[in-house]
Amino acid sequence: MAQNFTVNYDINVLSQDAVTAINSFTQATKKLDQAMRPFRKLNTSISNLQNNLTKLNAKTYTVKLETKKAVNNVDKLIGRLRRLKAEAKGAGINLGSINTAGGVAAGGSSNRSTGGKRVTASAGKTSTSSSVISRNM
């Protein structure tokens, strides 16, 4: 036969240790979140940099050097030096090894490189050719 009983009881729960543990866990997670913020910003910055570098590498760059004006100025300077040399010679002054052919002795010729540009000088004339530097990144 089944019997029914009425039971009265009191349960005493010591919850202070649990509350302290939960509060400690909450504080620890907040500190970890604060510590992660600079790393998240750094990660975002690195990702943006990587994306920008990828975009730059996809483009082709062409550099065109125009040297006609500089060559004209050099030719004018050579002409002035020649006139000065002639005037000095007429005045009886010997200028010796001063050379007005762009660094080339009279009658000789020379090719020299000037930063990616080829300059050819031969006994009084200077000619140039433009360069195009192209780099596919």
pLDDT band at 134 (very low <50, low <70, confident <90, very high): low
The model's pLDDT over 62-93, given as tens digits with 9 standing for 90+, comes to: 888 999 999 999 999 999 999 988 888 888 88
What are the backbone angles phi and psi of residue 86, rounded to the nearest 5°? Answer: -65, -40
Single pTM value for the model: 0.33
pLDDT band at 96 (very low <50, low <70, confident <90, very high): low
pLDDT for position 61: 79
Mean pLDDT of the chain: 77
**DSSP string for residues in 60-73:** EEEEE---HHHHHH
Q: Which residue would you say has higher pLDDT here, 92 or 23?
A: 23
pLDDT for position 133: 53
The model's pLDDT over 106-118, given as tens digits with 9 standing for 90+, comes to: 444 444 444 544 4
Report d(CA 102, CA 124) in Å as an integer. Answer: 7
Report d(CA 105, CA 82) in Å as an integer. Answer: 13
